[in-house]
Each structure stands twice: as C-alpha cells, then as structure tokens.
Chain A
Amino acid sequence: MSPSALLPLCAGIGVLALPFALSDFWIFIAIEVLAFSLYAVSFNVLLGYGGMLSFGHAAFFGVGGYAAALLVKKTGLSAGLAFALLPIVAMGISAVVAAIVGFFSVRRSGIYFAMLTFAFQMLLYTVALKATGLTGGDDGMTGLKPPGALAQPLVYYYFALAVVVPALYVLFRLVSSPFGYTLRALRSNARRVQYVGVDVRAHQLATFVITGAFAGLAGAVFALSSGNVFPGWLNWTASATPIVMAVLGGVHTFLGPALGAAVYVVLEVLISGRTEYWPLAMGVIILALVLLMPAGLTGLVRARRSA
C-alpha cells in the first residue's frame, strides 16, 4: 500500500479508537475539537476558497448553538425527537440567518464585507443578550443534555464524529465541484469570472449560506456537549477563533483549518490549566507559529514534501 493511502487509513483508525485512550475530560475536549474542526473548515471555505473574510462567522456558530438549546429546552418535544431533529433545525435556522446577513453583506467586498458581517454579528449578539425570555440573556442557557446513552461522553463522541465527518465530506465535495472551481476563480478574479457568465453575488451568497449552515451545525454539536450556550458565543471576539484556526492550520489546504482547530483547542486547555494569563501565552505561541510558518502547519508539511 502506498504511503499516501496509509495516512488516511491510520488517521481513520486513530480517530475511531481515540476515545478509548482518553479520560472523560479529554473525550470532552476531543468533541470540542471535532466541532471546531467543522467550524474552522466551514469558515475557510469562505476565506481560503472564496476569498471572503467574514468577521461574523461566530454568529452562525452561535445561532446553531441557540437553535439546539431552544429545540431541546423550549419546544416541548420529546428528548429523542428533539435530538433527532437537531442537525436539520440547527442548519436550517443558521442558513436562514446567513441568507439575510449574506444578502446585504455580499454586495460589498473586502473590508466593507468584513464590516457588514461584523455589524450583523453585533446585532445578533445583542439579541442573544437582551431577549432574556427566550435566550436567558447574560446567563445563557444551561443544563442542556442529549438524551439517554448519548449523555455519556464516549457515545456522544461517536455521534459528533458521525455528524462532523460526513459534513466535512460534503464540504470537500463542494470545493472540488464545479461550484467550488467557480468559487476559486471568483476569489482569484471576480471581474473576469463575471465575464464568463457567473453571477458573482449569487455565488457568494450561496457560499455564505452553505458555510453558515455548517457553522451552525458545529455550534449545535458543541452546545449539547458543553451543556450550555452563552451570548459570548456570538460576540465579535468569538469570530477571531475560526480565523486563527484557519490561518494556524493553513488556508490553502482543505483540512488545514481542522488541524489548526485541534492545535488551538488542545493548547488552550493545556495552557489555561496552568496560568490565568493563558490568553497572553496563547497569543505568543500563535504569533510564533504564524511568523515561522506563514502557510500554516499544513504548509510546513507540503513544503517538506516538495523539498
């Protein structure tokens, strides 16, 4: 078997066997890694493939989280049914919100696009904060629990895996499809792509909605694992997270941001357990990594391969 086929096989076995080697605490972290992998990859389909730097991607992660929380706590559906509907509902609601935000935002490009997404995110943050009756306001929504056996971290890990892996596969198909080719062309030269007959705004909007829906799915998976959602999920500082993950892992490979998410989450756990100045330490480490590896972690691997 060739080494290139061996790597995904080993990775697959590793991911499946992983929770048996971990304590409950670290299984919980592994679930977080899965959720943030999907979040970061969805963000990077926008940035790395579409050339759209959104400062508001956290809004959709947060909307997905709140959608999950509301579905489980407020609809009165049985726990099992609510849970079964979770992926569809979280994606659906995030997609609708992304369609509204995107409709206005993709009319501008570059920094103006970024500012519009930022503004909409602040709006949604304020809603989460002030609509106390619905969202619990500043206290967020807590005590969320998946039904039955899924409440065990080990089982929930496999649930998260069963959601995240197909979702990543769908996004991978998307970026290598004609739609994805057109998206890359659009990033490369938006004017030229218009003149081959592509409706640039519509293409950007579709990408915005799709990536928003997958960010929402990631938020829902994470919400039920962590057991709560807070308005802070939608705060503008939260939108820096997928940016850092994507850049850290490398925006030029499909799975780079997933690797970035894993490194980010694990570093955060390791460092925050040791010092209250952990954001400072994180900042220094990320700064060093980005300066030393401008193409991200995956860029480093690619450079060594081609050397």
Chain B
Amino acid sequence: MTADGEPILRVESLAKRFGGLQALGGVDLAVARGEFRAIIGPNGAGKSTFFNTMTGLLRPDSGRVIFEGREVTGEPPHVLARMGVGRTFQITSVFHDLSALENVQVSLLAHARRAWSVWPQASTLYAERAQELLALVGLAGSGGRLAGALAHGDQKRLELAIALAGRPRLLLLDEPTAGMAAHERIESITLVHRVARELELSCVFTEHDMAVVFAVATRITVMHQGRVLAEGTPAEVRARPEVQQVYLGESVTPQGGCA
C-alpha cells in the first residue's frame, strides 16, 4: 500500500507527440488523497490528451504514471479500472440501448469480477445496489428507461453512476459539465463534489467554466500548449499574471465565467 503522504496519483514528465504536434511536452502532476483537482486551460492545451494518456487509451512517448505508489504507465483501461481508477468522458459515454439500471449493473458485475459468469441470470443481480446508485445521482425513477432516451444531463448523471459502481478511489472526469446549460453546471459539479465527499474519492476534472472550477476545486492546474503553466490553490492561481495572460482578456474570477 501507499505510504502516508504519498499522492494517490503522480504523473512524471508525461509526453505525447502526434506527428509534428507535441500534444504533451512533459507534464508533472501530483494529486493528494481527497483532493478535488481541476485542470484548466484553453482549447488545445492538451487536457484531453493528458486524460487519455493517463488512462491507457493512448500510449505515452515517455514519462510515468503512478497510482497509489504503483507504476501504471501504459496499462490498458480495464486494468486501471480494476485497480480503482474510474473515469467519465467529455462526450457522454453510456450504454445507449441498455436501460439505465442495466448500465449500472454492467459496471457492478464487472467490478465484482463476474463479467465472465455464464450461467446465472443477470437481470436481478445487483439490481438493488444499482438502484441505490441511481438514487445517489438523482435518477431514482429512471431505472427502466433506455439510457439513450435520457436527457443529456441525466446521461451525465448516469455515467457518473456507472463510474461509481466500480468503487473507484480516484475518479477522472473529462469536462463533466460539457454541453450543459449554465444553470445546470454548478448543480452538476456540486453533485459530483458531494458524492466524492461521501465516498471519500479523490477527483481530477477538466473544465472550461471558471465558475464551476472555483465552486469546487481544492487545487487547480493550468495547462497551456501541452505543459503545466501554473498550479496552486484557486486564490494562488487566480493571482498569477501568466494565467491571466493565457486567458487573454477573460477574467479568471468566480463571477466571470469563461465559456
């Protein structure tokens, strides 16, 4: 296990190049247990590439990813998931032609290592636990509906329930409020924040909306052109002139919002 003070996630000079484009130019990151870390940066800063490289979807050219003291660089997603890393996607990713309840059941079955069990009937397995998770994210009444028929915001909630079903200790959320109306965003990130507190999860999320970021983040990492430009508490980051520079003319304040 990890020593006290060992960050739950440590990334060391992670680099990724796509042809001539250096998408990640050596990114360092350390996330302590219980943190609610925001990664911000203008479009093209490398946030999504960083997420995908950390979680095994892309293979890094160099650098290391260490989760709970174990090196997991380049491990495929299913291995990371089994170790306790959950994630959600920028473009909502649920099982469209399964019911909301089945969506969560699939995740619970995988977490219980029962995805290979071929004889028991799955329809009732973990149905209660799945229902609890749906209730936790505010979808108590929607279990029987097809995931694809849910409203966008509800699909985001469902994806959160799917991720939570795997009992992650680290949850990575790629733009959890993407595509939502302004008033839904704060509500949505507050939900994630509350659930993360309850389940004692550490979270890393990318976000465009500064109001959302300053509402919940305990620390903020600012990325720019594939590198870390600044890191610190919300107050520290806001005060850094180079951050202001990157967001050129957009005020980095809780009130302002930068959509």
Bound Cα distance from A63 to B97, whole angstroms: 34
CB–CB B162/A196 < 8 A: yes
Stretch at the interface among A108-116, A175-183, A221-229: A175-183
CB<8 Å pairs between A and B, sample of 9: A179-B118, A180-B122, A182-B109, A188-B98, A191-B77, A195-B86, A196-B162, A198-B115, A203-B115
B10 proximity list for chain A (CB < 8 A): none
Bound Cα distance from A178 to B107, whole angstroms: 10
CB–CB A189/B93 < 8 A: yes
CB–CB A178/B117 < 8 A: yes
For residues 154 through 212 of chain A, which have their beta carbon under 8 Å from a beta carbon of chain B? 173-174, 176-182, 184-185, 188-189, 191-200, 203, 206
Chain B: interface size category? 35 or more
A179 proximity list for chain B (CB < 8 A): 115-118
CB–CB B118/A189 < 8 A: no
CB–CB A192/B162 < 8 A: yes
The main secondary structure of chain A at its interface with chain B is: helix
B162 proximity list for chain A (CB < 8 A): 192, 196
B residues contacting A by CB (< 8 A) are: 55, 57, 76-78, 80-82, 86-87, 89, 93-98, 102-103, 105-107, 109-111, 114-123, 125, 159, 162-163, 165-166
CB–CB B76/A176 < 8 A: no
CB–CB B110/A189 < 8 A: no
Do A193 and B111 contact each other (CB < 8 Å), given the known contacts A177-B119, A188-B98?
A: no
Chain A: interface size category? 20 to 34
CB–CB A178/B120 < 8 A: yes
- 8 Å CB contact of A174 from B86, B93, B118: B118
- 8 Å CB contact of B110 from A173, A191, A198: A198
Q: A188-B98, A196-B106, A196-B165 are in contact. List 17 more A-B contacts (CB 8 A).
A: A177-B120, A178-B115, A181-B98, A182-B109, A184-B95, A185-B95, A189-B95, A191-B57, A192-B89, A195-B55, A195-B81, A195-B87, A196-B110, A196-B162, A197-B81, A198-B110, A199-B76
CB–CB B117/A177 < 8 A: yes
Distance of A47 from chain B, by nearest CB (Å): 14
CB–CB A185/B78 < 8 A: no
- 8 Å CB contact of A176 from B98, B116, B121, B166: B121
Do A200 and B78 contact each other (CB < 8 Å), given the known contacts A176-B123, A195-B55?
A: yes
Bound Cα distance from A206 to B116, whole angstroms: 9
Distance of B25 from chain A, by nearest CB (Å): 26
CB–CB B117/A189 < 8 A: no
CB–CB B120/A199 < 8 A: no
CB–CB B81/A182 < 8 A: no
CB–CB B98/A197 < 8 A: no
Bound Cα distance from A206 to B117, whole angstroms: 12
B106 proximity list for chain A (CB < 8 A): 181-182, 185, 193, 196
